Structure 1
Amino acid sequence: MKSKKIISGLLALSLVFGGAVVPSAVIGNSVISASASSICDDSLFISYGGNHAVDFTSEDNHYSYYIFKDGTVYLFEIQGLYDDTGEWHKYDEEMVMPSEIDGKAVTCIGYAAVGTNSIVKKITVPEGITMIDNGAFQSSYSLESIDLPDTVTYIGDYAFECDEKLKSFKIPPKVTTINNLTFMGCKSLTSVSIPDGVTSIGDYAFEYCESLPSVNIPDSVTSIGDGCFYGCVNLRSIVIPASVTSISKNAFVKDEYYENNEIKYRPLKNLTIYCYKGSYAEEYAKANGLKYCLLDQGFVYKQLDDNTIEIIKYVGNDTEVNIPSKIDNIPVTSIHSAAFYGSNTIKSVVIPDSVVSLGDAVFGGCTNLENVSLSNNVRSIGQVVFSGCSSLKEIVIPDSVTSIDSAAFLDCIGLEKVYLSNNLETIGASAFNGCKSLKEIVIPDSVISIESAAFVNCTGLESVTIPKNVVSIGEYAFAVCDNLTIYCYTNSAAQQYAIDNEIKYERIDASKPFVPTYPTNIKVDHSEQYHQVRFTWDKVENAEKYGIAVYLAGKWRIQTQNITGTIYTTPKNLTPGKTYKVAIAAKVNGQWDVNNAIKNAVTVTVK
């Protein structure tokens, strides 16, 4: 028995290390050497009387392996054992590769270590493995997932060839080359993560990965091999960085056919190449009749007829995103629908003041988005723009905005504070539906309509102040807000809504023993990210406008006198640690009550 195993091991050795004739794979009109040679050769191993193979039986398996001269193991065959019933048992649905055999550390999974099978569904490779040799896991027809450790530095040719049910793959960060045929025939592969550090993608590396919809190639890659994405019929988008200086002619081919005794190729007609202006990829796309869109800093964009730029899509992976105000010296004025949809790496976004238009669902499903600085010139918040942004805690809607469209903040379950535009007129249907962390909302005087279900399921909402000017409140606007008190005016639409829906309410104008002519209940919020300070205060009855003054160099200096609402946000990037004394005055019946404003001044320190 043992002698047969050693012979079997030597036969495998002749394939892996020997000098036998190596077969070739014929693909289309191309021939690729399906080299069965390992990255290792005989000189690296300890010899036992001219043989290298060693057999070892543990409690749960029988292995054949070679020993490197450094004492570590090259595992080339998992043979299995007889089970309790006497049946030969080689594979289970879940396989954990050994980290050591007979006290020796395993560092390399060898050629065809896991032989052709339709049993194994999951493989775990332990820390310490550094090499996955050619064909190590090929033809594991039922394999759905494999976990490789960060210690892996090399993955060989056709390592996962014809693993037809493999769904996703994360290439370890130390791997520098995706070799020939690595994922050939992985028909179910829908995602592959390529790390920075990979410099080349080999010939036919992803051939016939028929379910693969998109690929993001990192900046480290310089070459894409022949037939790399041959037959990837559902590939819709690929990001190619400016670092790529070589793409083989048939890299993006659907199939081939004969015409007049010549082989011709049909391109992947649904593919769009995202590339940089003036890059090799742009020229390649033009020369081969492929669709392409231009990139800048990870932003896909197009120039509009009015000589402005629209951001179409974001394909970067930064956590902090600053949208440029200009691309090629042309102003960026709009962001297309769903441009950032589902970008879960993003934590903060700054939108420049050049942007006036946000399309629907721009940031929908960005579950890790925490901070957004909106353009001060954006006109409306479109449908489902921030829907599902569950990590978003605060939003300041600038005074340029006049409408918030339906479901704009749907299911922003972490949203705690909302500062509405002082020129807002309409709050759309389901605009804040499911914002369960929202406790208080002050509707500005400019609003005239709150549409149906606008704040439905805001289960944490305790206080909402609704001005006289609101004349329409839709059905279920505040449904399932069980702890809510509505603060409203006598005979207003808000009071009637509260009565009709049996919601607790208090009339703001019920009794007025004292009517101040200066702002009271001044609150201060700080933004450490943008080094800003925001002031809010209670509305002063009959106030025409408000003003802000700061005490500098022994004098009160007016900053603005044209505030129409009860919110003021300082400019960004104030000096952290600097302390200011700030007075907020109201103009009532044509008079500024400066004295009381100064008496009630607040002191703030920039964070």
Structure 2
Amino acid sequence: MTINDFEIVNDEIKKYYGTDKVLELPKSIKSIGVEAFKNCFDIEKIILNEGIKKIDKQAFVNCANLKSVNIPNSLTDIDPTAFMYANNIIEFIVSDDNQYYKAIKGSLYSKDESVLLFYANGLTKTSFTVPNSVYYIRDYAFFANKTLKKVIIGSNTKWIGNYAFCESKLESVKLSKWLSTICTGSFQFTNLKKIEIPCNVTSICENAFLQCPAKKIFLPSTLLSVATGGLMVSEVPTIFFSGDKENWDLITLYDNAIVPNASVKIIGRKNKWSEKELKIYQQENNIETNAKKQLKDFVIEEGILKEYRGSETTIYLPHTITKISSEFKCKNKDELKKIVCSNSIYEIERNALRGYQGLENIVLPENLLIIGPYALTDCQSLRGISINESIKYIAESFTGYRCYRLNSLVVDPRNHRYLSKNDIIYTKDGKKVIAYATGKNAKEIKLISKVVRICPYVFKNVECLEAIVLPNSVESIGVAAFSECKKLRYVKLSKKLRIIEPYAFSSCYNLEKIELPSSLEYIDAKAFDVCTKLTSVVYLGSKEEWQSHPEFTDAIPQQAILTFKKNK
């Protein structure tokens, strides 16, 4: 391998032209671009360099002889399609220090084992049981697998992603009883001869079982919608429905949802619904009923909501939607006041609802797993957010800033990842502050004593905040964490504070004095930018300690006088 084998632009590999069997990437590489290694049949093993952060779409598509992938500590983002048709991978090897990924018996999982990301398709096993730790099987996880005939989905799995088993040779699958939605193309072009949908599923998305040779299909009474191609199997099946005729008539069947000549047998429920089950069904049915009226106004691609073209101020999202896109557009963006999400939605992507300034209320789905960065930033009229039990990931800056009226943030106490106290969201261990209801009138904020990090933008632009005392456990303050707190007069920093990131206290116009602990290792030059009244900075160490960090001086406003607590 030579550097000339690569086309590299801004530290990203755009194309590889070499013929190496074992390939170690140049140390300068930060990302691998779209289709960069497409059809590289020679590569058998790839060693990703420390420093790489991203692998983009179809980066290794059709690398038919690739057997081993080494994942370093630095890698944080792998697109679901990165290894499409790389069907001979037998192992992912992950650095123990990687905070995002973990390898189990060759396959790739999230660090906490709750997401199955890539099954090693080169393994020769004919059956596989998804571990009970897995909550979500990601898009394309088993795509085009040629060896597995039988899969048992773990008992805690609630989501099977888009095209997860598409084009595989799967003949039998036992689905988890907690499964709620079967996403776009999940089992498309497989060899399933029988389809049994468990009782909690409310929606079958577009092309979910397209062209499967199934002759028998068992559907639950909870089902509310089947999207186009959802049950368009290659045979003329018999459908056994466990509800009554009234339930069947309520199901939304989109164009070409099922085989036209399919025989439907209404077999009725064996047991009566519990009060909770009935309530959930009625709520979801109400959403679907209202969504039907607005259906023509939605643009949905492969289960992803791209656009709303209607003019209603309240919109109901149908059960054919699994994600709200980062590119979501809305014709009446400024007039939209309420969004009611169906339980089929598991992700709100980065920036999805950013800048929806008239939005007052969003009813999040019970099965939501992911809220991306800045998803609800600059929603200036939003009043409250309730986080459900199932949420697995909330981006550190999901509310970001300019949520001026947000006065309630509540996390279901059963959630295993997050907790809330006094309208502040923390990680479950209490070590990170994720979000704050910035519309509250509190003049002083008290954090729990375990906090180690205050994440970016958490308290940005809190208009009433006058004082903050950080517990001595705090070690880092994120980007713009207290920026534009215009009434902030008093700040007491932690004795263990090590890092103050850019703009942490910028534009705090009434801040006059700050004491910096001697534990500091880094202060960004813009940490106190535009703090026009900051005239006194007291360093709690000695002058000699301060001078050992010459870059600290750049962070001190010109008008401020620097003094030292210790003489030596």
Q: TM-score range by the shorter chain?
A: 0.3 to 0.5
TM-score when normalising by structure 1: 0.33
Q: Which has the higher strand share?
A: 1
TM-score when normalising by structure 2: 0.35
Larger radius of gyration: 1
